[in-house]
Structure 1
Amino acid sequence: MGLRRRLWTGITLARDSVSLLRDHPHLLWFPLVAGAAGVAFFLLAFGGALGLLPLAALAGASDAVVLAGAAVGYVGASFVAVLFTAGLMFATREIMEGRDPTVRDGLRAAWRHRSTLFAWAVVSTAVGLVVRALQESESLGAVLAGALLSVSWAVVTYFVVPVAVFEDEDIRGVFGRSVDIVRETWGESLGAEFGLGFVHAALFLAVAVVAGLAFAATGSVGAAAAVGLPLAVVAFVVGATLNGVAKVALYEYATTGEPPAYFENVDFDVGGDRSASQSPLDRARGGI
């Protein structure tokens, strides 16, 4: 499948995600609050550990306290982000099905799956730390292994959160189910992610250009930061929301075979022959 078609599919998916977001701007609250709450949780946990350093030093356990605080901060921030992402995805599907959910509705639905989402936050945090350690190694082999693990993990876990929320799978089942859906829609998923990545890059490039213009006009790094940082936050929130909305659209198409509301004009089948990627059960149904 050509690069141009994959890119166009992703851009169309992003454009339709913008249309949904324009009609329901309250979805932006999910990544905005998730980011703020996650940072606050991490600072509280890690800051608490730093505050205990003098006492820990007397006990000869300062390193352990710092590591414990960092671990709590990392996992807590990750859980907050996962919880709000799940809420965003639930609210998005409700909108696609013609309902008008609130932010509270999304969070309430996500909270019902808190045990699975917390377990996922722990696992993803652990894997993320391993990947980071490998990528910061001085060994080229470790760096390559880290890059391979990062890409593989992203593919395998692509649909973990929607599966946890929409199919009520526990932590042992979400991985296998996510892999099954990715396997059946690899072309659609990769094509959409490629195009969405292009859109996200364009958002942050626009922020960099505006900040650069501010610096050129004033000669002040502070002025450039004052303009660029808020815009970067906006770009991050918009990009995260679009990514969540698009992933729900992909999940709906993968599990129902039909484009959801707002995405009827998207050519999801960028992988080529859709029948070749269907499960045996789906192909059997098609032959009846």
Structure 2
Amino acid sequence: MRVFSRLKIGFGMARRSGRVLRVHPKLLVFPLVGGISGIAFIATLFGSLLLTDSIRDPGMVLYGALFLAYLVETFVASFFTAALVAATRTVFHGEEPSIRGALAAAWQRKLPLLAWSVVAAIFGVIIRIIESEDNLVAQLLAGVFAVAWSVMTYFVVPVIVFRDPSLTEMFSESATTFKNTWGESIGAMATIDVFSFLLALAGLTLGVLTFVVTAGTGIQLLAAVVVGGSGFVFGLLVGKALSGVAKTALYVYATESTAPAFFDDMDFGAFGGYGGGRI
């Protein structure tokens, strides 16, 4: 029953994250800008991957290019996530978040964010090298490494924003926090992923309906793409913002034994069992 209780808390945290976004919609700016900047990376990354696949022996030059692509994307994504976490922390203190202030707070953490991005880029290239081996064992090994890496680094950005950690501390504290909140994390992220999927699906449905309604007009395809694409992107955008808010709340719960604004009606008793008197 404890597992279901922790998952239920995660579902509740996802709902309360939605409250935060409704009151402070400016938080959507950070994943929006980060997502736009990531479009260039996606083009670069997939171009690099296609080029790598087309050459029998990719060599160090192409893997170096892939490393740079991972590095830039990780840093940009982490930077705007850090800004979202900083803005959410301001909300939790009962204050009005500032886009400029949140970006400034993220910039103050640029060096640890860069260090994290370098490590993440190295790991990404290693996974890519393993995946390039044409056998099932390598594919399974790459998958296991990727899952383990995702778990260990789940809270890296909040750790960097809230603390002044060394390189090893940002990974160890992230892993420890996930261990202490695994049920709540899974519950919150699962709820957010389902909600984001439904929003994106609704956007695509609107696009199809627009295509049908505007049949016979010169703007049929354009209108469908604009409406459907906007709805799809909005769903993904909301999902990213909800994830950032929920992850920040989980980190506060696990490390500060306090209830931030919008989450003060949570049942903290279900968090019992954490070491050292932490929630």
Normalised-by-shorter TM-score class: 0.7 to 0.9
How many residues in Structure 1 have an aligned counterpart in Structure 2?
Answer: 266
What are the residue-to-residue correspondences of 1:1-288 with 2, within 5 Å?
A: 1=1, 8-40=8-40, 67-132=63-128, 134=130, 138-217=134-213, 223-267=223-267, 274-276=271-273, 278-279=274-275, 281-282=276-277
The Cα of 1:168 is off from its aligned counterpart by 0.9
Distance 2:29 2:21 in 1: 11
| Matching residue's letter, 2:182 | W
Gaps of 5+ in 1: 50-61
Distance 1:222 1:128 in 2: 37
Change in CA separation of 1:215 and 1:130 when aligned onto 2, cut-off 3 Å: farther
Distance 2:152 2:63 in 1: 29
Contact (CA 8 Å) 1:38, 1:76: kept in 2 or not?
A: no
Give structure 1 regions of 4+ aligned residues with deviation exceeding 4 angstroms.
2-8, 40-47, 62-70, 132-138, 215-223
Distance 1:68 1:187 in 2: 38
Distance 2:7 2:21 in 1: 21
SS in structure 2 at match of 1:261: coil
Distance 1:135 1:268 in 2: 43
Contact (CA 8 Å) 1:9, 1:195: kept in 2 or not?
A: no
Percent identical among aligned pairs is: 39
User: What is the TM-score normalised by the length of structure 1?
Assistant: 0.79
User: What is the TM-score normalised by the length of structure 2?
Assistant: 0.81
SS in structure 1 at match of 2:165: coil
Deviations 1:165-197 (A, max 9, x none): 101102221011112212222222222222222
Change in CA separation of 1:235 and 1:268 when aligned onto 2, cut-off 3 Å: farther
Change in CA separation of 1:184 and 1:147 when aligned onto 2, cut-off 3 Å: same
